[in-house]
Amino acid sequence: MNSSIFKNIIRFVGLVLIQVLILNNINFLGYINPYLYVLFLLLYPFNSNHSLFLVLAFLLGFSIDLFEDSGGIHAAACVVIAFVRPHLLRFSFGISYDHQNLRLSTTPFGARLTYIFLSILIHHFILFSLEMFSLNHIIIVLKKTLFSSIFSVLTIILSLAVFSKKYR
C-alpha cells in the first residue's frame, strides 16, 4: 500500500514536470502539444477511493494550470475524466472491471486503446472548449481536439510500452 502511494506521488510530480518543462514547448505544427500528464489519471489504481481520486485529479489539472497561466481549464477537464472514469472502464473492459482485479498492462490492446482514446478525447474537448471560451470557434476547437488527441494517445501508448515492466 505504501509503495503504491509513493509510486503515485512520484508519478504525479514527474508527469507535471515533464509536461510543463518539455511537452508544452513542442508546439508541433504551431499548436499541437501532447498532454501526457493525463496518464496519471489513466493509471491511478482502479479500486481506490473515488472522492480522493476526484480531488487528486483537480490538483493535477490545477498544477498544470498554474504553470500555463490558463485559469482552471486543465483542472476542469481532469475532474470530468476522473468523474466519468468508472463508466469508461466498464464500457471498455466490460465485466472484468467489476471484479476489481484489472491491471492496464494485462488487458487486451483493443480495449486498452478504447479506454485511452475515449478519456483523451473527452479531456481534450473540454480543455480546448474552455480555452477558446466561445462558440464561434467550434471548428478550431474540434480540429485541435482531434489532432492533439492523436498525438497524446500516441505519446501515452509509447510511454506505456517503454515503462510496461515497471507498471506490471
Per CB under 8 A, residues contacting other proteins are 17, 20-21, 24, 27, 30-31, 33, 50-51, 54-55, 57-58, 61-62, 65-73, 75-76, 79-80, 82-83, 130-133
Query: Cβ distance 152 to 120 under 8 Å?
Result: yes
62 or 163, CB closer to other proteins?
Answer: 62
CB 165 → other proteins: shortest distance, Å?
29
Nearest to other proteins of 69, 110 (CB atom): 69
Closest CA to 59 of 120, 126, 13, 115: 13
Residue 107 gets the label, from left (phi > 0), alpha (psi -120 to 50) or beta, of beta
48 vs 164, beta carbon nearer other proteins: 48
**At closest approach, how far in Å is the CB of 108 from other proteins?**
29
Q: How far apart are CA 89 and CA 11, in angstroms?
A: 21
Beta carbon of residue 137, minimum distance to other proteins (angstroms, whole number): 8
